[in-house]
Amino acid sequence: MASAAEIKEFRDGIFALRPRRFGTVAEIMIKYLYNMSESHDLAFDKYSKTEGRVEVKFSTVMKENDDKIRDTNVIEQCKKANLANRAMVSSDIDKGIAFDCNIQQVKTNEFQVLYYGLFFADCVEIFEMTREQVLACPGYSNKQHRGNEGEGQFHLNQGTIQFHKDHYFKKRLSYEELYGLFAKI
């Protein structure tokens, strides 16, 4: 069993990863939680015998910045940007603390099921939608960039999170559980 200090170091490390490496952590988590295999195709992330092609998209949940970076506050804003100041715990949602997680680069033609979710400071929340549910999801935009086709996005924030919890919530993991899952590999 890992110590509390090891779990905190593990969690903080996840939050410090750059996007591609962070995405790989989420993909490995989903692979082992739901008994999936590698896709062997760059178009989608994992393969499930029961669900088919699977895409995995996760985000870390951070409090919104309280101000834009300007000439006069650049040092202050950099100091406020650290994990201890910005990472949200899941109960912060009930307090109305503003956050915005963008689930992006969603290529709906490339998968049957999307596993997506949020890495909070205290837990990981996992959601699941079919391709058709993504296309009908309130707030889904099939245009992520100007001129882009076939790649969309949607946001998880204080205005949309309850909808996702009510309709697509699948599982919550503590960091101890996630650490234990990875330790068994």
List pLDDT tens digits, range 119-148: 999 999 999 999 999 999 999 998 766 666
Full-model pTM = 0.92
Q: How many helices (H) and strands (E) does the chain have?
A: 7, 8
Q: Which residues of 142-180 are buried (b: 16+ CB within 10 A; e: fewer)?
A: eebeeeeeebbbbbbbbebbeebeeebeeeebebbebbe
Cβ(121)–Cβ(62) under 8 Å?
Answer: no
> Domain residues of the chain, as ranges?
4-100+114-130+169-183
Q: Name, of 37-46, 115-124, 141-150, the range with top average pLDDT.
A: 115-124
User: Directed axis angle between helix 175-183 and helix 19-33, to 10°?
Assistant: 80
Question: Binning pLDDT at 50, 70 and 90, where does residue 175 land?
Answer: very high
Are 98 and 63 in contact by the 8 Å Cβ rule? The answer is: yes
Separation between Cα atoms, residue 23 and residue 45, nearest integer Å: 10
Q: Return d(Cα 147, Cα 139) in angstroms, integer.
A: 19
- Determine the length of the chain: 185
Average pLDDT (71-92) is 88
Please tell me the predicted confidence (pLDDT) of residue 114: 98
Strands 152-157 vs 123-130: parallel, antiparallel or unpaired: unpaired
How large is the average pLDDT for residues 68-81? 89
pLDDT on residue 144: 64
